[in-house]
Amino acid sequence: MKYFEDNPEIFAALVAAIAILGGLLGSIIGAKFQANGGRDQAAAAREAAKIAAEAQHIAALWSVRHMQTAESDMGH
């Protein structure tokens, strides 16, 4: 600590360097979280689209089955 007391400009430069490195590290970590969040959001959107497509397919099959049942009932 005596060294820094004798050289306050070095201490100030060291504090500035630590602050800069801390800011860069924070930016990198934030960017990583944001990128992961984007991937998670895209995966959720793909899953929602898949579920919607499956639901539409089931609804279409049900509709066709319902129409076939109605037609066969009319034929009897």
Q: pTM here?
A: 0.49
Structure-token match 């924070």, residue found: 26
Structural domain for 44, as ranges: 2-75
pLDDT, tens digit, for every residue of 2-52? 777 787 888 888 889 999 999 999 898 888 888 888 888 888 999 999 999
Number of domains in the chain: 1
Confidence of residue 76 (pLDDT cuts 50, 70, 90): low
Q: HSE of 42 in the Cβ direction (CA atoms, 13 Å)?
A: 6
pLDDT of residue 64: 84
Contact 1, 7 (CB under 8 A): no
